Amino acid sequence: MATGSGTIDAMRPPGPLADPMLPRFLRIRRASKETHDTVTLELDDSEAAPRFAPGQFNMLYLFGAGEAAISISGSPARPETLVHTVRGVGAVTAPLLRAKRGHVLGVRGPYGSAWPIEEAANTGCDLLLLAGGIGLAPLRPVIYEVLRRRRAFGRLIILYGVRTPADLLYRKELNQWRTHPGVTVKLIVDRAAAGWSGRVGVLTDLLGAVEFDPAETIAMACGPEVMMRFAHRELARRGVPEQRVYLSLERNMKCAVGLCGHCQFGPTFICKDGPVFTADQVLPLLQVREL
């Protein structure tokens, strides 16, 4: 069975159509509130949509505020509708919560490496997705792709943890996904609230609640770095090889094309070598605190 090493370089994911530093200007077709601090923006990219691969990100530019790296959270089969899910935390993303249909945003990208979808299809491995909070956004294109080409993949196990039930993204879809054959969805929250009858705890608790064969599984994780460290540790304990554990790093970015050094750790640029890495590539970087 092929392993993950080298897969990212061997299958270079798509990039921007023209000058990678030049934004395209796209109009918001729909803005849907997900939670009190998160919105999903659908942009009309029907004129010249570049292809993208699950896991890649764009730089979104809000006039008067600046740019932020945001993962593409829509379907790769529908690049003409460019979808991003944004949590409002700072100078750019907080005002994006108030963006409305018709507003225009600048978009540069797509950038970065991708989740190993084709490796999963070629090997027939099961897919184990571990998402914490907004980390479900870059994994959603994987789910769309697996459901679109269902027979090409093994089982799909989605483990999703959030702080409180009110922080769950894509609520309707979570319920739809679990109705598909061979798909398991398990949720967990840090703190319960009235009406929550599901599990309370940390994401890694869910790993004990699902059956998988470590030798036939590809794991993909995105979320707070502490969650990814614990997820990696637990996956290693269960016997999933490091080369088949993929993590997406969401460190701060500026240029997104390997020019400014803002995201650099030694020889590694998160923007162009990542954000998706195998665990063996990225674990040394997780020891380095953000500057």
Ligand X SMILES: Cc1cc2nc3c(=O)[nH]c(=O)nc-3n(C[C@H](O)[C@H](O)[C@H](O)COP(=O)(O)OP(=O)(O)OC[C@H]3O[C@@H](n4cnc5c(N)ncnc54)[C@H](O)[C@@H]3O)c2cc1C
Residues that bind ligand X (CB under 6 A): 57, 66, 68-71, 85-87, 89-93, 134, 137-138, 250-253, 275
Q: With binding defined as CB under 6 A, does residue 288 bind ligand FES?
A: no
Q: How far is the CB of 289 from ligand X (least distance, A)?
A: 14
Q: How far is the CB of 225 from ligand FES (least distance, A)?
A: 17
Q: How far is the CB of 252 from ligand X (least distance, A)?
A: 5
Sign of the alpha-carbon torsion through 202, 121, 244, 238: positive
Q: Find the distance separating the first CA and the last CA of the chain, reported in whole Å.
A: 39
191 half-sphere exposure, CB direction, 13 A CA radius: 5
Identity of the residue, 92 or 159, whose beta carbon is nearer to ligand X in the bound complex: 92
Q: If we measure between CA atoms, which residue out of 118, 108, 131 comes closest to residue 248?
A: 131
273 sits in which H/E element: helix 270-273
**What single letter denotes the amino acid at residue 130?**
L
Q: With binding defined as CB under 6 A, does residue 117 bind ligand FES?
A: no
> What is the layout of strands, in order, in the sheet containing 66-71?
66-71, 57-62, 104-111, 24-35, 38-44, 81-87
Q: With binding defined as CB under 6 A, does residue 263 bind ligand FES?
A: yes
Contact partner at residue 162 from ligand FES, ligand X, none, CB < 5 to 8 Å by partner kind: none
Q: With binding defined as CB under 6 A, does residue 258 bind ligand FES?
A: yes
Identity of the residue, 4 or 138, whose beta carbon is nearer to ligand X in the bound complex: 138
Q: How many residues does the chain have?
A: 291
Contact partner at residue 57 from ligand FES, ligand X, none, CB < 5 to 8 Å by partner kind: ligand X
Identity of the residue, 91 or 226, whose beta carbon is nearer to ligand X in the bound complex: 91
Q: With binding defined as CB under 6 A, does residue 262 bind ligand FES?
A: yes
Identity of the residue, 199 or 262, whose beta carbon is nearer to ligand FES in the bound complex: 262
Distance CA 286, CA 271 (A): 15
Distance CA 221, CA 146 (A): 16
Q: List residues binding ligand FES (CB under 6 A).
A: 253-256, 258-264, 269, 271
